[in-house]
């Protein structure tokens, strides 16, 4: 029986979502719990995608197969009882055998949080402590350049080797709550470091280091060296993953 | 020269505020930094009071003496550069030689946060994950019993040995923001575990385990065994400490 689960995690103490030899990852913890529930027959989970070390998830999604059909609310409770405080399964449902959490993903939403006010030690791992004012109006102008279909070569990891660097951003917006700025992107997919690199450029615009219309040039140059800093992982949240047919 | 500093900390990874042999405390970290600034001549700090393991502070205050007069903004910057990410000095000012951060404190404010919605792994260390509905109207009725001068013997640590258990609560209120309830108390002083024990009783009222007017009996019995659970430390914040004459 194939299941799709929605889960949330505090990425602070993990070496990212994705399994790696000798590392503490979210996937390792979840697979260990599911394997125990599956009478110790190894369970592999397939998520919508990885998140890097320190990145958080509000609604990450992953599919997995169990040998037996388990009552969904009992399954959720059993998993959550075995998980550490930093990971929580919010929902589980049954999906068709051909469902794939990565390949079937249609839209993903990420939010990046920046504190433009005084340093706050209570949110050091949850909001990027930029601690200086930013010109939000300029950032709001600049973010429009990213909407639509673009080649995001300038905004991925320099060494990333992909078939295509073309992605579509459907929506991008900036909201403000006291000194916290939240930047949200919804797109058909995101390259590695793409959100954090876009945020890095938006910060350079908001702090008057570069001009709003420099975004156009940086996109066109298709060269990672053009785009500047990668914003820290602590401010990044995977907010949602959407599928066309989850059932 | 005597200084008064206002500081904030994430209590998650500390064994409380107050110095203890072989423990990692907020006081130890701050004294270590100040001693280095004071040319390695030992500096002791005196805070408004302790906070227990896991309890956070938004505005804790403490006084200390340095051998020399240091420019205040430079002093603040030097301290913050040496502090770990979890502690931050917000403000420093010079006070009279007879100023005492504990004895001169006139009013303290604490806030306790409870999540009545679904479990959130991102706030496991910052908001008590009660994760069930509470009847706020009843809690609001009950909190009124605590306002004024009372003997809080039923609401302190059973083994606490004090000259007097009488304290005055000037203000007490409950606010709600989505699923997060915040309970705030301002008083002339608080006994050990007092806020967490009052919150424990308020939760019993909000979950219909005891009646609103049971508070009166619990206060009158002056017996810790009457009052029920101690709410977890993770939801508690020292919000402010006020002095009559800080200068």
Q: Given pLDDT bands bounded at 50, 70 and 90, which one contains residue A232? A: very high
Q: Is the pLDDT of residue B152 over 90?
A: yes
State how far Cα A160 lies from the chain centre. 17
Of B9, B56, B121, the CB nearest to A88: B121
Q: Using the beta-carbon criterion (under 8 Å), do A9 and B121 form an inter-chain contact?
A: yes
Label residue B161 by pLDDT band (50, 70, 90): confident
- First vs last C-alpha separation in chain B: 13
pLDDT, tens digit, 9 for 90 and up, residues A61-87: 999 999 999 999 999 999 999 999 999
As a whole-number percent, the residues of chain A with pLDDT over 70 amount to 98
Mean pLDDT along residues A7-32: 96
User: Given pLDDT bands bounded at 50, 70 and 90, which one contains residue B163?
Assistant: confident
Distances (CA, A) of B110 to A145, B174, B241: 46, 12, 9
**Cα–Cα distance, A133 to A207 (Å, whole number):** 8
Mean pLDDT of B93-97: 96
Active site residue B52: yes
Nearest CB neighbour to B119, from listed A88, A122, A124: A88
Grade residue B246 by pLDDT with cuts at 50, 70 and 90. Answer: low
Residue A247 has pLDDT above 60, yes or no: no
Residue-level pLDDT at B157:
83
pLDDT at position A162: 77
> How far apart are the C-alpha atoms of B126 and B117, rounded to whole Å?
14
The neighbour count for residue A246, using CB atoms within 10 Å, is 15
Is the pLDDT score of B158 beyond 80? no
pLDDT in tens, B54-78: 999 999 999 999 999 999 999 999 9
Q: What is the overall mean pLDDT for chain A? A: 95
- Is the per-residue pLDDT at B114 higher than 80? yes
Which of B88, B120, B122 is the closest to A119 by Cβ?
B88
- pLDDT tens track for B192-234: 999 999 999 999 999 999 999 999 999 999 988 877 889 999 9
Provide DSSP, A134-169. --HHHHHHHHGGGSEEEE-GGGS-TT---S--EEEE
Chain-centre distance of CA A124, in angstroms?
18
> Which pLDDT score, from 0 to 100, does residue A225 have?
81
Best interface-test mutation with B: which of A30, A122, A239 has the largest number of B CBs within 10 A?
A122
* Count of beta carbons in the 10 Å neighbourhood of residue A241: 24
With contacts defined as CB-CB under 8 Å, which chain A residues touch B88? Answer: 119-121
**Cβ contact A108:A240 at 8 Å:** yes
Residue of B nearest to A54 (CA): B122
Token pair, residue B23, equals 């423990």
Residues with Cβ < 8 Å from B157, sequence gap 6 or more? B191, B192, B193, B224
% of chain B residues with pLDDT over 90: 91
Bridge partners, A168 (sequence order) = A149
Residue A83: partners with Cβ closer than 8 Å, 6 or more residues away: A29, A30, A33, A89
Asked whether the predicted pLDDT for residue A89 surpasses 80, the reply is yes
**What pLDDT score does B245 carry?**
64
- Is there a contact between A124 and B9 if contact means CB atoms under 8 Å apart? no
Q: Using CA atoms in the order A135, A137, A139, A143, what is the torsion angle rounded to 10 degrees?
A: 180
pLDDT of residue B195: 97
Report the pLDDT averaged over residues B8-12: 98
State the pLDDT at residue B241. Answer: 98
What average pLDDT does this structure show over A2-17? 97
Predicted ipTM? 0.93
Pairing of the two strands A105-115 and A180-187: antiparallel
| Structural domains of chain A in order of their starting residue, each with its CATH number | 2-103 (3.30.70.580), 106-242 (3.30.70.660)
Distance from CA of B57 to the nearest CA of A (A): 9
Note the pLDDT tens digit of each residue in A205-219.
Answer: 999 999 999 999 999
- The pLDDT, as a whole number, for residue A56 is 98
Judged by phi (left if over 0) then psi (alpha if -120 to 50, else beta), residue A228 lies in left
- Contact at 8 Å (CB) between A233 and A55? yes
Q: Which residues of A touch B58 (CB under 8 A)?
A: 122
Q: Which listed residue (A32, A52, A161, A240) is catalytic?
A: A52
């Amino acid at each position: 029986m194939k299941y799709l689960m929605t889960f949330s995690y505090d990425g602070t103490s993990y070496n990212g979502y994705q399994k790696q030899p000798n590392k503490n990852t979210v996937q390792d913890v979840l697979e260990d719990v599911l394997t125990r529930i599956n009478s110790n027959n190894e369970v592999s989970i397939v998520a919508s995608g990885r998140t890097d070390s320190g990145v958080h998830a509000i609604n990450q999604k992953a599919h997995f197969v169990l040998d037996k059909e388990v009552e969904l609310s009992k399954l959720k409770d059993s998993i959550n009882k075995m998980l550490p405080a930093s990971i929580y399964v919010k929902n589980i449902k049954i999906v068709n055998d051909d469902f794939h959490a990565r390949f079937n993903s249609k839209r993903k939403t990420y939010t990046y949080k920046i504190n433009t006010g005084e340093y706050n030690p209570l949110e050091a791992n949850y909001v990027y402590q930029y601690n200086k004012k930013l010109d939000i109006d300029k950032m709001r102008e600049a973010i429009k350049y990213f909407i639509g279909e673009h080649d995001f070569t300038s905004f991925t990891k320099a060494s990333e080797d992909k078939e295509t660097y073309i992605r579509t951003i459907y929506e991008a917006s900036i909201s403000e709550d006291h000194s916290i700025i939240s930047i949200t992107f919804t797109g058909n997919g995101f390259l590695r470091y793409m959100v954090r690199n876009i945020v890095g450029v938006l910060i350079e615009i908001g702090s008057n280091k570069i001009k709003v219309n420099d975004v156009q040039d940086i996109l066109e140059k298709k060269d990672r060296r053009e785009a500047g800093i990668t914003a820290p992982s602590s401010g990044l949240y995977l907010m949602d993953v959407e599928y066309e047919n989850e059932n």
